């Protein structure tokens, strides 16, 4: 029996792309789709529960998410299903393309009559299918996209019309920018690093970092010596690295989901540039990135939900990773770890089960308010952290809440570091740390 007596219902309620196995996510464009309305609005009719999953299945993030959903559903069916009904999964490939994602989401809703949508990786994809999902009213739990605009443009702008939309993780990139400020404090305390540079993909998910992180760092007493958004089509990092060398930061906070960044890492090591490379690098989350980068990933860090299974964030984290690895043991396509999106997707499947069983219905066409109220009543111990949602009237209604320690520091944003010989450890925050952060050996 796994987890899942996790019925921590709080009745009163106190409370982005990786290195691909085949190819890499390109910059997302825009698209349009003809929207049709669902003829059937939700299950619980004795025919079983159907979960629709959307993700870019040509890259490891999407595959990890899909396999994590499959594992959760296998476990749930072994445990009696949802409301005693068998659960099925239909997973579709968005190709990280908004137009493709709209077509697939429409098909899942209107032809497959799914009871809930879970997934989506790129923020551009999530934003582009929002209107259609809202018009159909199907519950939708976003598990891979971090732009706060997903909530701001939907539940946050018209609550009644968009209340079917939730986000189970990671914390949105507005709070991620604040969390990076706390991480800068740690780097300053440990290494005396007090000057920083900032680089980011020119993409929706990085806007909050661009708008907030430099000020966040300066408000904490640090100097920000360089800021730049980079084209996702960049193919020559030499000018960027030359500029960074001239500006002489102690560390570079870079936020790459669309940019692989292997060339940047290669130059960093070859030239032994005197700064750390920190922040978020989605490509570096893949289990084989160290080998793919030929060791150039050594010393770089990235934040990722679940901390890549390096540490027991909750009592569920490491057990889930063990079960996932057994589940994909003979699966040559699946990544060896769930990836950050896999943690969030696995949790989302169980969140949905908890909510509809509490509501007593999966019929969102007639009882959406009951399902929404049950979701808002959850205080759920997930694999990536304790999960509860902001409510109507909050800045980010239906978004996963950030966790804070007694000093107000955000703690559900773990950061991992590749160490020499390919070891991966959690270096932040303190309560989840498995090793202290290591500066590049040429900086000692």
**Confidence band for 46, pLDDT divided at 50, 70 and 90:** low
Q: What angle do the packed helices 339-359 and 60-78 form, to 10 degrees?
A: 30
Q: What is the pLDDT of residues 332-372, one digit of tens each?
A: 999 999 999 999 999 999 999 999 999 999 999 999 999 99
Nearest to 49 by CA among 374, 346, 349, 343: 349
Lowest mean pLDDT among 12-16, 75-79, 218-222: 12-16
DSSP letters, 150-165, are HHHTTTTT-HHHHTTE
What per-residue confidence (pLDDT) applies to 370? 98
Q: What is the pLDDT of residues 180-232, one digit of tens each?
A: 999 999 999 999 999 999 999 998 889 999 999 999 999 999 999 999 999 99
CA-to-CA separations, 261 to 169, 223, 224, 293, 304, in angstroms, rounded: 24, 24, 21, 10, 17
Q: What is the pLDDT of residues 98-109, one digit of tens each?
A: 999 999 999 999
Burial 235-271 (b: 16+ CB within 10 A, else e): eebeebbeebeeeebbbbbbbbbbbbbbbbbbbbbee
Average pLDDT over residues 5-26: 34
- Report strand pairing: 415-418 vs 424-428: antiparallel
Q: Which residues contact 190 (CB under 8 A, 6 or more apart)?
A: 436, 437
- Are 136 and 156 within 8 A, CB to CB? no
Q: What is the pLDDT of residues 106-123, one digit of tens each?
A: 999 999 999 999 999 999
Higher pLDDT, 26 or 279: 279
Q: What is the pTM of this model?
A: 0.89
What per-residue confidence (pLDDT) applies to 45? 58
């Amino acid at each position: 029996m796994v987890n899942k007596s996790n019925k921590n219902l709080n009745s009163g309620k106190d409370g982005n792309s990786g290195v691909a196995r085949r190819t890499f996510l390109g910059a997302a464009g825009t698209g349009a789709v003809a929207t049709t309305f669902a003829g059937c609005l939700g299950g619980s009719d004795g025919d079983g529960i159907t979960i629709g999953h959307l993700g870019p299945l040509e890259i490891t993030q999407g595959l990890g998410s899909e396999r994590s959903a499959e594992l959760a559903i296998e476990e749930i069916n072994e445990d009696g299903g949802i409301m005693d009904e068998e659960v099925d999964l239909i997973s579709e490939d968005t190709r990280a393309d908004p137009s493709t994602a709209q077509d697939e989401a429409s098909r899942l809703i209107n032809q497959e009559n799914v009871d809930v949508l879970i997934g989506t990786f790129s923020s551009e994809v999530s934003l582009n299918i929002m209107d259609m999902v809202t018009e159909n009213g199907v519950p939708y739990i976003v598990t891979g996209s971090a732009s706060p605009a997903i909530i701001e443009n939907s539940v946050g702008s018209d609550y009644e019309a968009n209340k079917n939309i939730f986000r189970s993780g990671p914390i949105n990139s507005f709070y991620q920018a604040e969390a990076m400020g706390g991480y800068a404090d740690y780097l300053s305390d440990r290494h005396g690093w007090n000057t920083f540079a900032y680089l980011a993909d020119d993409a929706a998910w990085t806007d909050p970092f661009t708008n907030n992180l430099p000020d966040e760092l300066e408000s904490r007493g640090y100097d920000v010596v360089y800021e730049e958004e980079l084209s996702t089509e960049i193919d020559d990092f030499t000018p960027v690295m030359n500029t960074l060398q001239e500006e002489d930061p102690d560390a570079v906070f870079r936020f790459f989901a669309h940019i692989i960044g292997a060339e940047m890492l290669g130059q960093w090591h070859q030239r032994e540039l005197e700064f750390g490379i920190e922040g978020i690098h989605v490509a570096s989350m893949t289990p084989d990135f160290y080998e793919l980068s030929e060791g150039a990933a050594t010393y770089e860090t990235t934040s990722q939900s679940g901390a890549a299974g390096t540490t027991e964030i909750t009592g569920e984290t490491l057990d889930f990773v063990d079960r996932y690895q057994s589940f994909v043991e003979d699966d040559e396509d699946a990544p060896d770890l769930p990836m950050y999106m896999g943690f969030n997707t696995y949790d989302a499947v169980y969140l949905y089960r908890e909510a509809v069983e509490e509501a007593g219905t999966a019929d969102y066409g007639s009882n959406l308010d009951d399902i929404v109220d049950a979701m808002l009543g959850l205080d759920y111990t997930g694999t990536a952290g304790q999960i509860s949602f902001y409510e109507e009237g909050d800045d980010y209604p239906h978004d996963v809440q950030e966790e804070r320690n007694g000093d107000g520091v955000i703690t559900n944003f773990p950061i991992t570091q590749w160490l020499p010989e390919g070891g991966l450890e959690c270096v932040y925050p303190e309560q989840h740390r498995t090793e202290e952060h290591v500066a590049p050996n040429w900086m000692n």
